[in-house]
Amino acid sequence: MSPRVAFLGLGTMGLPMARNLAHAELPLLVWNRSPSKLEAWSNGGVASTPAEAAAAADIVVTMLTGGDALEAVLFGEAGAATAPVRGKLFVDMSTTGPAAAHKVAARLAALQAAFVDAPVSGSRAPAEKAELVVLAGGQAEDIDRARSVFAAVARAVIVAGPVGAGQTLKVVLNGMGCQQLLAFASMLRLGERAGLSRAVLLEAFSSGAFATPAYAAKRSRVLQKRYGDPDFVLELVLRDAELCAELQRELGVELPTHLAARQEVARAVAQGFGSRDLFCVEELYSDFRTGEPK
């Protein structure tokens, strides 16, 4: 028998993920903080509160904007964990950082509920195609209980270790991605300044020795500078960069290249680019002056 699933959070990533769960014919009940998001939902039941959704579910999946949102949705007024949750499995697919994962896991364990941190790698397009990669942390039996959920939304599952390891892996992966993003953006603008066409640069970036799937997927968007309908907003890149900086502090290390990239993303957000697609960070380098971006 398929597990009953509550899915909490229908944002840019959450909505297509929930739709894929519905397409997989898992019994599904959804909830979202903003009712307007629910107007486009026609794939199953809608709960009025997280507690109502959790009470009817075997597995409670959260896809939210960060640790504060996760804590509010689980433990706040009418939160999911205020329902009877003994024996239920909570799977957080948000990006919150390992500290938040450990905190939530401990609070749920006190209620005799299990927890898996399972952030995903990928943006809106992979979410729509069920091609995300799950980075899972938790006990093996709990991860196994979540396999039907993962199979509906992802092409692969990487088991990172115990609770918190999934979030740690996501923070490290996003730390690398932040640096790649700034390298892409700055070298794109430098190449244009040197007289190369954007089309030629993007062909090289997406097919040369340093190509990544992200570069190839973004080629058309960057060619057109189409940043107003984001797959992943720049302000969330900053959130992830802050989580990576926090991990560095906890471990007593400092990675100058990452910290410099984080500073550049923060500068772009401060200039008003936070709600646009992450590749709009190239606008920082729209005018080079004496070797310094404007």
Catalytic machinery residues:
170
Quick check: 12 and 232 in contact, CB under 8 A? yes
Tokens 């918190």 correspond to 164
Backbone angles phi, psi at 212, to 5 degrees: -130, 160
**Cβ atoms within 10 Å of 216's Cβ, excluding its own:** 13
Measured in Å, how far apart are the chain's first and last C-alpha atoms?
Answer: 59
Q: How far apart are CA 2 and CA 214, in angstroms?
A: 34
Query: Token pair for residue 274?
Result: 């936070």
Q: How far apart are CA 150 and CA 133, in angstroms?
A: 9
Quick check: 80 and 47 in contact, CB under 8 A? no
Query: Token pair for residue 289?
Result: 């002056």
